[in-house]
Amino acid sequence: MPVLSIVACEMLEDELVHVLSIDHDIKQLYLVENTNSFSLTRKLKSRGMRPLIFPFEKLSAIVMENSRDLFSEIILSFSKFSIFKKMHNALKAGKCKQLIIVVNLLPKDLHADTDRLHSEVYRNARDMAKFSDGILIFYGKCAYSNESRTRLESLDCPVYFLKDNNSELVEDCISTALGGNDAYKKTEQPGKGAFYVTPMWINYMKERIKPGISSNDYKYLNDPNYSLLFKVNRPDSDHADFSRNASEFAKTFDMDIININGTMKVATDSYMNSKLAVCKESE
C-alpha cells in the first residue's frame, strides 16, 4: 500500500483534520506521538476517525511492515501468466483505496526561530522519507528557505508543498486559510496595519498575551497604525468561541474587526494532488 507522510504545522491543525476526515481511501492513519498529537487526536476522533499513535522510533518499522502487500507480491511473482497479470493490474488500479497516512504535527512555537523551524521540518521529512512513497509539507513558505527546499526536494521520495490555484507556494497559514496568495494580497489596506486570525491563531495569542498585558514579541500591536483585525471565518469553526476570543483581542489592542470568508481549498487540493501523485508513483 502506498504511504503518504505529512509534516504539518500545528497552526494548520484544523485544515489537516478537514482533509483527512473527507478522504475515505485511508486504510490506516498513524500519528507520531508528541505533545502536539493530543488535540489533533481529539479532533480526528470527533470526526469518526481512529488514528494509531506511536513514538517515531517504533512507527517506522510498523509502517513498513503494514505497507507491504504480501498477496500482491505473490501475484506479481506469477505475473508472466496472463490470468495473474490481469489480477496484478487490477490490484494496482485499486491501490488508492488502500492508503496509509502518517502525520507528524510539529509545534507552533518553532516559528520563534526561523533557522530552527527550517532545520526541524527538513530533519523530520528526511527521517520519514525512509518509509514513505511521498511527503507533503503542510506548511507555507515560512517553513523552508530556498536552500532547505532544495534539500527537501533531494530526499529519497517525492516531496509536495501547499500551493494555490496559480500553482504558487503559499506564503503562510493565513494565505492557506484565505485561499491563496492573491486572496491574501487583496485584503491589504495601504497605510493600515492588520493582524489576521484563524481559530488556531487566536487560541495561540490567548496563550501568549493576557488582556491588558502585551508581550515584547508583539509590541507592534500597540502601534495605532495596527488598527484592523481580520477574522477568517470558516464553516467548521466554533463560531461562539472564535467570535468571543477575537472580540477580546480586538478590544485589548483597539482594533476594528473585519470578517472575511476563509476556505479549505488550498489544503484540500494540495492534499489530493499529493495523494494522487503518490498512488501513481506506486504503480
DSSP 81: S
Q: Where are the domains of the chain?
A: 3-171+266-281, 180-261
The CATH number for 3-171+266-281, chosen from 1.10.760, 2.40.50, 3.40.35, 3.40.50, is: 3.40.35
Distance from C-alpha of 211 to C-alpha of 250, rounded to nearest angstrom: 10
pTM of the predicted model over 0.75: yes
Q: What is the C-alpha radius of gyration for the chain, rounded to an integer number of angstroms?
A: 21
The side-by-side arrangement of strands in the sheet containing 256-261 is 193-197, 226-233, 256-261
Q: What are the DSSP calls for 126-157, one per residue? A: HHHTTS-SEEEEES-GGG--HHHHHHHHTSSS
Amino acid at 6: I
Taking only the tens of pLDDT, the chain with its 283 residues reads 899 999 999 999 999 999 999 999 999 999 999 988 899 999 999 999 999 999 999 998 899 887 655 434 443 455 555 554 444 444 444 456 679 999 999 999 999 899 999 999 999 999 999 999 999 999 999 999 999 999 999 999 999 999 999 999 999 999 999 999 999 999 988 888 899 999 999 999 888 876 555 556 677 888 888 899 999 998 776 678 899 999 999 998 999 999 999 999 999 999 999 999 998 876 6
Q: How many CA atoms lie within 13 A of 108 on its CB side?
A: 15
Angle at 164 between CA 159 and CA 167, to 5 degrees: 65
Grid cell 528526511 is found at 126
Question: How many angstroms from the chain centroid is the CA of residue 171?
Answer: 14
